[in-house]
Amino acid sequence: MLDMSRLLPGPYATQLLADAGADVVKIEDTGAGDYARGMAPMRETDDGAVGTIFDAVNRGKRSVALDLKSEAGLAAFHDLAAAADVVVESFRPGVVDRLGVGYEDVRETNPGIVYCSLTGYGNEGPESARVGHDLNYVGRAGLLDMTREGPDAAPVVPGYQVADLAGGLFTAFAVVGGLLSRELGDGTGEYVDVAMADVVLSFGQAVATEALDGADPRPGETPLAGAYPWYDSYEAADGRYVTLAALEPQFWAAFCETVGREELVDAHGTDDEAERAALREALAAVFAERSRDEWVATFDGVDGTVDGVYSPAEAVRLDSFRERGLLRGDRPRVGFPAVADLPDAEETVPGQGEHTAELLREAGYTAEEIERLRAEGVVL
């Protein structure tokens, strides 16, 4: 797999595939390379400091540094692509075609290639030329609007890069789907155009259907975004928060019984705004009686749909994630998010161009040819 992407979305996609056993080759330029390498915050490694984002999503990959604007560098890319199964890129629309490494260029050499472009607004469409980042995409797709506490409150910037990671996840899915179609079909590859804004809109199924039916779902007023007192977060006695998600009557009944408030059982499902307000007040008083961790312990083994709200620093230390093998490596990172029969993954982060000679030898280049390219500044 040749990965021409940078920063977070594309590398996250190919990291998932690398964890699953793919041989991922980063194609970097001979200048700065993937500039996530130097983006703060930094993490110290045996080979010096590296950006934490780069460290997180580039483990076990190989790096080739090529000057694609040179004739020899372009030829080297196509020699590598001839033996590849997949190409992933995240340049602005039109860039790969101008460089001569677009889908039509690659499939002339390799008709079986699965080629995936990952952009903010798509390679085609009325917004394809618009520049953006995660915040722009979640804003356009409706997610940012739904982060408000209420219709008149300001939007809240999500704590995670939802569009970047959703786009990366869907890219990995699209690559696997393309490979499966190729293997079950006639052996030809395909082109996939993934837009991060599209994926975020797809994630909005719970409210998008209402909107398509002519409604105007508003933050704080939809069932799963603030309307239900039995589906919300509450402050505990220690200032931390807990979550209550008792959508089903049996979970609500178990919750009420556990906290000794059986008289609240019949309030579940009420549409009366005054009853909902009174119930929310009663729940706030209940949760204020104990600390977050005491509430989590109280509902251990009880089907009451109560859990804690944890900071990222707390979350990565929870046994619930560690015992499932999600935290891996001598320099821990969040690994493949499923328990599966995965190969033993290489956890080192490649230096820029570290594997250039190795990959070019695999493509049939001699040592003399590689040295000549290096001397000309075509490769690192």
As a dihedral over the C-alpha atoms of residue 35, residue 39, residue 43, residue 44, rounded to 10 degrees, the angle is 60
Q: Which of 248, 218, 235, 217 is nearest to 280 (CA)?
A: 235
User: 2-203+330-375 belongs to which homologous superfamily?
Assistant: Crotonobetainyl-coa:carnitine coa-transferase; domain 1 (3.40.50.10540)
Residues of the chain with CATH 3.30.1540.10: 223-322
Secondary structure class of 319 (helix, strand, coil)? helix
CB 227 within 8 A of CB 149: no
> For the chain, where are the E strands, in sequence order?
2-3, 25-28, 42-45, 48-51, 62-65, 86-89, 114-119, 190-195, 231-235, 241-245, 306-308, 327-328, 333-334
CB 9 within 8 A of CB 45: no
Q: Which of 291, 134, 146, 292 is nearest to 227 (CA)?
A: 146
Residues whose CB is less than 8 angstroms from the CB of residue 271 and which lie 6 or more positions away in sequence, other chains included: none
Number of Cα atoms under 13 Å in the Cβ half of residue 79: 17
pLDDT in the model for residue 306: 98
What is the Cα–Cα distance from 140 to 320, expressed in whole angstroms?
35
Secondary structure class of 107 (helix, strand, coil)? helix
Secondary structure class of 28 (helix, strand, coil)? strand
pLDDT category of residue 116 using cuts at 50, 70 and 90:
very high
pLDDT in the model for residue 344: 83
pLDDT at 226 over 90: no
What is the Cα–Cα distance from 357 to 180, expressed in whole angstroms?
31
Coarse DSSP helix, strand, coil percentages of the chain, rounded to the nearest 5 percent: 40, 15, 45
Q: Kindly state the helix (H) or strand (E) to which residue 286 belongs, with its residue range.
A: helix 273-287
> Amino acid identity, residue 158?
P
pLDDT category of residue 293 using cuts at 50, 70 and 90:
very high
pLDDT category of residue 47 using cuts at 50, 70 and 90:
confident
Secondary structure class of 44 (helix, strand, coil)? strand
What average pLDDT does the segment 90-117 reach?
A: 97
pLDDT at 250 over 90: yes
Residue 127 burial class via C-beta count within 10 angstroms: exposed 0-12, middle 13-18, buried 19 and up: middle
pLDDT in the model for residue 139: 98
pLDDT in the model for residue 162: 97
What average pLDDT does the segment 93-97 reach?
A: 97
What is the Cα–Cα distance from 332 to 338, expressed in whole angstroms?
16
The tokens for 44 are 């110290």
pLDDT in the model for residue 329: 72
Q: Which residues of 254-292 are buried (b: 16+ CB within 10 A; e: fewer)?
A: bbbeebeeeebeebbeeeeeeebeebeebbeebbeebbb
**Mean pLDDT, all residues of the chain:** 95
pLDDT category of residue 18 using cuts at 50, 70 and 90:
very high
pLDDT in the model for residue 328: 76
Q: Which residues have a catalytic role annotated? A: 133, 164
What is the Cα–Cα distance from 18 to 262, expressed in whole angstroms?
51
Residues whose CB is less than 8 angstroms from the CB of residue 68 and which lie 6 or more positions away in sequence, other chains included: 27, 29, 74, 77, 99, 100, 101
pLDDT at 218 over 90: yes
Strand 48-51 with 42-45, pairing: antiparallel
Whole-model pTM? 0.94
Q: Give, in order, the Cα–Cα distances in Å from 205 to each of 199, 202, 228.
A: 11, 6, 18
> Amino acid identity, residue 146?
M
pLDDT at 128 over 90: yes
Residues of the chain with CATH 3.40.50.10540: 2-203+330-375
**DSSP class of 106:** H
Strand 241-245 with 306-308, pairing: antiparallel
Secondary structure class of 37 (helix, strand, coil)? helix
Q: Which of 40-44, 141-145, 162-166 shows the lowest mean pLDDT across its residues?
A: 40-44
Architecture of domain 223-322: 2-Layer Sandwich (3.30)
pLDDT in the model for residue 34: 96
